[in-house]
Structure 1
């Protein structure tokens, strides 16, 4: 419903894109943008794909998911960093 700018894309191998997406949703669940948007015809939408997190931390999370080490980290919204469990 609005123009977007692609700031990064990722290519993974031997990993389902849906699995990567689900893990990213879990890691950043606490910083999902809580927003209701009205469409052109007045219908309300609650986007579930928008998060407030630094791109560098998202890159780090993807690296940790690929390596399998993400299980040892959580996202700390106050410091905007991944921290050890």
Structure 2
């Protein structure tokens, strides 16, 4: 499992957070979804791509500006600046 920290600037209200939480829960294997104003954190299987996660968020009507990836037990993490995912 890896942890994704996702920046979602237009997810501000509790209603928006519930919508994003609901969208993220449709991803196979996702656990530990937490949302707060402007960001979400989820645990997903290692084979789940950031692109798939971003596509689900965009389908719910929100946009992603950054995805940070953290693999437990590893000494690194990666960030990615996102403009838009086209599917």
Task: Give TM class, smaller chain.
Answer: 0.3 to 0.5
**Where is the strand percentage greater, Structure 1 or Structure 2?**
2
Larger RCO (alpha carbons 8 Å, 6+ apart): 2
Calculate the TM-score normalised by the size of structure 2.
Answer: 0.40
Larger helix proportion, structure 1 or 2? 1
Looking at CA atoms only, which structure, 1 or 2, has the larger radius of gyration? 1
